Structure 1
Amino acid sequence: MNLGACSSSFSSKKMHRQIFLVSLLLIGPAFADLLQNSDFESPPSNLPKNSTTPFQQLNENSTIPGWSFEGTILYVTTTQTIALPGNGHALQLGQDGKINQTFNPIADYVDYLLTFTLAPGGQNCSTNANVGVSAPDSHSIFSFKQDYGKEGWETFGLYLGSWEQQEPINLVLESQSTESDANSTCWPLIDKLLLKTIETLVPGDNNLLLNGGFEYGPEFLSNSTEGVLLDPVPTAVLSPLRQWSITGTVKYIDSKHYFVPEGNAAVEFLSGVSASIQAATTLKDGSTYSLEFTLGDANDSCEGNFVVGAQAGSTAQNFTLQSNGTGSAKKLSLAFKADSTTTLISFVSYATTQTKDGVFCGPIVDNVVLRASQGMKSEIKWEVFIFLLFLVGIL
């Protein structure tokens, strides 16, 4: 036996395995159907036969495939007054209504992002459509906002958490209404849940910002033209828009239904002066950098004079775009010198705009690229190379 050849073959296989594992870390997003009956199309058991009402209350003998429930839960079918994003079925979380499902993580410490749809149970009662979403170590409350889209429902995205593979995760959705009337039709409707996983993001040598193109965020509904609303998140660690914290409300939009300057996704600012996103990155103090980005409109009939402030460390500048709402964009840049090792990059919208239909809208930002001056590029590439060698070593 040629031991040298055998050793060489083994080393080659090991190297190929390490390169493959590193490439998985570079890929980033993945999608897995981890939830059962996530659109509630498989009906509960023991439903009344030949019922003509769109709201059918479940009892103690009912079971929902894939889900457990407590409190008042109603199975809902589409009617002329209730529009649903799925194929015609949803659950209404009534008084003390709670549903939950346990799933198993597919890998250790990947990030889990949830997309779900929220709607009020009737007309003129949007203020009662409040839902709490919980997982281990996380809890968020979402409210139907109204005037953030043309449909009678809204889609939200959130960060659920990151756990070890062997740890069962219990996902809970429950009504958070202050309504005291147990017979009220205004309790929230839940439909169409999508659970997405994202691997660890690592820096590239062409952009010092992670997720500068906003490609890593919650999953989009295939049949929705409204995008995904992202509520305020004070820290990037817990943000569904990975690596970016959020102030106010922004809309995560896809290239299938909106104008997106580059790639598959972008961010649209909705709530005026309080809407902003912010990322932190480590730079070399005293060195010069260039922040490049694209400013535009989403082709959603949003007309107006958009003013967006860009800030990198202590350097700030306002940029203006006159929008006719048909999908326009221009590339802009901001040069600055890093005045600390940790530098904050932020974008804020200074205008509140609505379409002729009364829907809140605003400017979009995409393709944010942070580059070092020419003298720093070789140093940055070596840092990335050393980081990848470290990953190969521990694998």
Structure 2
Amino acid sequence: MRGPFRTRPAAVLSSMLMLLLYATFCRPTSAAFKDGLLPNGNFERGPKPSEMKSTVVVGKYAIPQWEISGFIEYIKSGLKQGNMLLIVPEGAFAVRLGKEASIKQRLKVVKGMYYSITFSAARTCAQDERLNVSVAPDWDVLPIQTVYSSNGWDSYAWAFQAELDVAEIVIHNPGVEEDPACGPLIDSVAIKVLYPPRATNKNLLKNGGFEEGPYVFPNTSWGVLIPPKIEDDHSPLPGWIVESLKAVKYIDSVHFSVPEGKRAVELVAGKESAIAQIAHTIPGKTYILTFSVGDASNTCEGSMIVEAFAGKETVKVPYKSMGKGGFKRALLRFRAVSTRTSVLFYSTFYTMKADASLCGPVIDDVKLLSVKNPKFAQAVRVRG
């Protein structure tokens, strides 16, 4: 029998088989979607010793399930860099992204659905650190120079709408730091599907109880930051806009005191930490905005004030926090002047805990309803 298969050497066939095995077992493939950590999302499975030069990772696919580019370090918790001790929030390992370095993973998703990415990050020796998080064609540059927790690690959330059935999740360090070993540490990358809620006849605001939101790591006690300047169409906190220069913190009832349900929002940076939502209203009609103000039982003590705005009206709600939990109800009556009314909340003051980490008042259970009886609405006042 004549043909190419008769004359092909066995060594060539063996090489092709080895390449096929490498592509099957070594290259990261598109994992199926599941709420929680991405495959090897906590980086506990690391490179082989032959794929390391000191702490630097050598090889595009050296970290299982991940594709890397640029200067990437594999960091063990407790490693010292000068006078700095590098701590990992979960497990024993994390990665450090040098200048223009990135980590990438592909995940099977459902086209058209909304998803939220949660990951933990820490600054090292650079001053103005930022991270570019993307799932094409969506991307955002998230500032991480402000540290909100006392241990130096914060968890961040970012959302996207899937335009393909495979999402290519990329975390990239676009920094200008000259020393590549001064990049941020990354650990615990997770994903969660989002189901954007709708306004109803019982609440004209969407997600007023903040129950729909990003994945919260079960073994961390510092909540999840919703970054600043996040719009509601791709918000990890569906329905809400982070309309401020600083982040707001998404907290859960497992680790914090929450006024209602399982989730709430902590305003951690004074007037620079605000959330807003646009509600559909009827001009001339009277509405009542009700909400809870409290503290997260996280030793955040002191006099706090939450300011709420709706239409042309505003209310200041004082709350004296003992740092042990608790809340009060408040409300604001207003007459709509437009078909679209902005509802906004922020904290009047900056507040810090004894360890100098940022904290603030908690808001929850936000409801907006029209009032059928204007005489009743006229008698309504702020209640504590």
Band of TM-score, shorter chain: 0.7 to 0.9
1:95 aligns with 2:99: yes
1:210 aligns with 2:213: no
Task: Report the Cα offset of residue 61 of structure 1.
Answer: 7.1
The runs of 5 or more residues in structure 2 that have no matched partner are: 1-32, 80-84, 375-384
Task: Report the Cα offset of residue 277 of structure 1.
Answer: 0.7
2:229 to 223, 226, 233: 233
Q: TM-score, normalised by structure 2?
A: 0.81
Task: Report the Cα offset of residue 234 of structure 1.
Answer: 4.9
2:39 to 36, 41, 45: 36
* Structure 2 CA distance for aligned equivalents of residues 318 and 38 of structure 1: 43
- Contact residue 112 and residue 195 of structure 1 kept, 8 A: yes
Match of 1:104 in 2: 108
Match of 1:192 in 2: 188
- Contact residue 127 and residue 143 of structure 1 kept, 8 A: no
- Correspondences of 1:317-336 after superposition (within 5 Å): 317-336=315-334
* Structure 2 CA distance for aligned equivalents of residues 203 and 243 of structure 1: 9
* Structure 1 CA distance for aligned equivalents of residues 141 and 162 of structure 2: 21
Structure whose residues are more often helix by fraction: 1
* Structure 2 CA distance for aligned equivalents of residues 204 and 31 of structure 1: 29
What letter matches 2:121 in structure 1?
A: L
Three-state SS of the structure 2 residue aligned to 1:306 is strand
Three-state SS of the structure 2 residue aligned to 1:292 is strand
Tell me how large the CA RMSD over aligned residues is: 2.3
* Structure 2 CA distance for aligned equivalents of residues 61 and 299 of structure 1: 45
Match of 1:265 in 2: 263
Q: 1:59 to 1:283 in 2, by over 3 A?
A: same
Task: Report the Cα offset of residue 204 of structure 1.
Answer: 2.9
Match of 2:364 in 1: 366
Q: TM-score, normalised by structure 1?
A: 0.79
- Contact residue 46 and residue 62 of structure 1 kept, 8 A: no
* Structure 2 CA distance for aligned equivalents of residues 238 and 272 of structure 1: 24
Q: What is the number of equivalent residue pairs in this alignment?
A: 335
What letter matches 1:356 in structure 2?
A: A
- Contact residue 36 and residue 191 of structure 2 kept, 8 A: yes
* Structure 2 CA distance for aligned equivalents of residues 61 and 343 of structure 1: 50
* Structure 1 CA distance for aligned equivalents of residues 51 and 232 of structure 2: 47
Q: 1:334 to 1:61 in 2, by over 3 A?
A: closer
Task: Report the Cα offset of residue 375 of structure 1.
Answer: 6.5
- Correspondences of 1:136-147 after superposition (within 5 Å): 136-147=136-147
Task: Report the Cα offset of residue 355 of structure 1.
Answer: 1.2
* Structure 1 CA distance for aligned equivalents of residues 158 and 126 of structure 2: 21
* Structure 1 CA distance for aligned equivalents of residues 260 and 190 of structure 2: 24
- Correspondences of 1:151-170 after superposition (within 5 Å): 151-159=151-159, 161-164=160-163, 166-170=164-168
The runs of 5 or more residues in structure 1 that have no matched partner are: 1-29, 377-395
% of aligned pairs identical?
32
What letter matches 2:67 in structure 1?
A: S
Worse overlay, 109-118 or 315-324:
315-324
What letter matches 2:93 in structure 1?
A: H
What letter matches 2:144 in structure 1?
A: F
- Contact residue 196 and residue 212 of structure 2 kept, 8 A: no
